[in-house]
Amino acid sequence: MKALAKKTDDRYQTVMEFARALEQAVQQPIQQVRSPVSNQPVQPRVSEQPKQKLSKPPQQKMIVQNAMQDAFRAPAPPRARTMSKRGGNGKALVFIILSILVISAALISGLVYSRSRMQTPNKTTLYVGDNNWSGWAGSSDWMIQNTPAGTVGVLLNDGSQNMKWIAPTILAPYQVSGTADYAVDAHIDVMFNQGGIWDGCFGIGLRGSNTSDNGWQGYWATICHTGSSTDSATVYIQASSPNLHSTNLTQISFAPQYGWNYTYTYRVEVIGSSIRLFVDGSFLAQVTDTNFPTGGQIGFASYNTPLSIYDFSVEAI
């Protein structure tokens, strides 16, 4: 092999020359692949579909380009320095091997990144509340207030309701149809300790429907703060109906990261018999229940708890 010739003058004199020879040696077998039967180039079968290439994200392409440029940027050693040429070529060979490893790592990380993006489930937005909260109807403790600029409306509850609920005290104008699996997202600022009062609850109701006796049934994700001036509260996932009243399916303690009087994103999902609650993207609670397999009504309720809701959306999952 030329790279291992005894005489230094018979070896590759530059890294670029060695790289070109290496590239030709790698590509040559690929270009000469033949079918062992017909001695013709192997063609894809008619029944096979071309495989979709995974696209590398731009940052991974940049890593590959930089590594390749660095690999072939080393200048050739001066011809006059015969003693240092052997050591220089050895160092260049090591550098090329390390560069190949860097390129391989970049390609693998790009492949993993692309696959993880491809596996993200598709989500379909079913409803997004407008700035004016058009069509929302509820009890007298609910109101709509515009910001000073008048461009964004806020759905407010004044905390005057002092009776616990079974049905929502305000309903969304949109009812889910065509699917029983969906999620509700809302940005809510809960004002516990308004006027020195710490006892109160608020909740998001979903998969709801009217009952034959003019009642309401469905699931609730409820957060209650009682009896203490600390930030710790209790989270409940409940099944509610005229017969069940509000039955606690599960409950856990919860202390928000930044305390109350701060806006968080609350997300409630119903998927099959599973009901899950997330706060700012972090999983909080989950329960399995089969009481209400369907139902498209969505709403809110508040007991002794002023709050502000800045946006609202529904998503099929």
Phi-psi label, residue 272: left if phi above 0, alpha if psi -120 to 50, beta otherwise: left
What is the chain's alpha carbon radius of gyration, rounded to the nearest angstrom? 33
CA atoms within 13 A on the CB side of 46: 0
Cβ 242 vs Cβ 157: under 8 Å = no
Taking each continuous run of H as one helix and of E as one strand, the counts in the chain are 3, 15
Residue 101, pLDDT > 70, answer: no
Q: 């392409």: which residue's tokens?
A: 61
**Residue from 160, 132, 146, 12 nearest 72 by CA:** 12
Distance of CA 293 to CAs 98, 160, 217, 271, Å?
58, 33, 11, 9
Q: What is the pLDDT of residue 275?
A: 98
Q: How confident is the model at residue 85 (pLDDT cuts 50, 70, 90)?
A: very low
If one compares 105 and 300, the residue with the highest pLDDT of the two is 300
Dihedral through CA 193, CA 194, CA 195, CA 197, nearest 10?
A: -40
| Structural domains present in the chain | 2-35+52-118 (no CATH), 124-316 (2.60.120.560)
pLDDT of the residue at 256: 86
Higher-scoring residue by pLDDT: 199, 294: 294
Q: What is the pLDDT of residue 171?
A: 96
Q: Is 147 exposed, middle or buried (0-12, 13-18, 19+ CB in 10 A)?
A: exposed
End-to-end CA distance of the chain: 61
SS3 of 103-118: HHHHHHHHHHHHHHHH
pLDDT of residue 251: 95
Place of tokens 């202390």: 255
Model confidence, pTM? 0.61
Give CA separation, 34 vs 30, 31, 38, 92, 292, in Å. Answer: 9, 9, 8, 35, 63
The H-or-E segment that residue 250 falls in is strand 245-254
- pLDDT tens per residue, range 214-233: 899 999 999 998 776 677 88
More reliable by pLDDT, 269 or 199: 269
Average pLDDT, integer, range 54-65: 41
Least confident of 2-16, 27-41, 122-136: 27-41
Largest pairwise CA distance in the chain:
101
Residue 106 has pLDDT above 50, yes or no: no
Q: Coil, helix or strand for 222?
A: strand
Give the pLDDT band (50/70/90) at residue 120: very low
| Residue-level pLDDT at 126 | 96
pLDDT at 299: 97
Is the confidence at residue 47, as pLDDT, over 70? no
Distance CA 239, CA 245 (A): 8
What percent of the chain shows pLDDT beyond 70? Answer: 59
pLDDT at res. 27: 56
As a whole number of angstroms, the distance between CA 248 and CA 236 comes to 6
Q: How confident is the model at residue 81 (pLDDT cuts 50, 70, 90)?
A: very low
What's the mean per-residue pLDDT of the chain?
A: 75
239, pLDDT greater than 90: yes
Measure the CA–CA gap between 218 and 236, rounded to whole angstroms: 14
pLDDT tens for 26-44 read 555 444 434 343 444 433 3
pLDDT tops 50 at residue 207: yes
Report whether pLDDT(54) > 60.
no
Helix ranges (H only) for the chain are 15-31, 58-71, 82-118
CB atoms under 10 Å from CB of 30, counted, come to 7
Long-range pairs for 132-138: beta carbons < 8 A, 24 or more residues apart: 134/173, 135/172, 135/173, 135/174, 136/170, 136/171, 136/172, 136/173, 137/170, 137/171, 137/173, 138/168, 138/169, 138/170, 138/171, 138/299, 138/300
pLDDT of residue 193: 64
65-77 tens-digit pLDDT: 444 444 444 444 4
Question: What percentage of the chain carries pLDDT values higher than 90?
Answer: 42
With CA atoms as reference, report the closest residue to 284 among 275, 292, 295, 272.
275
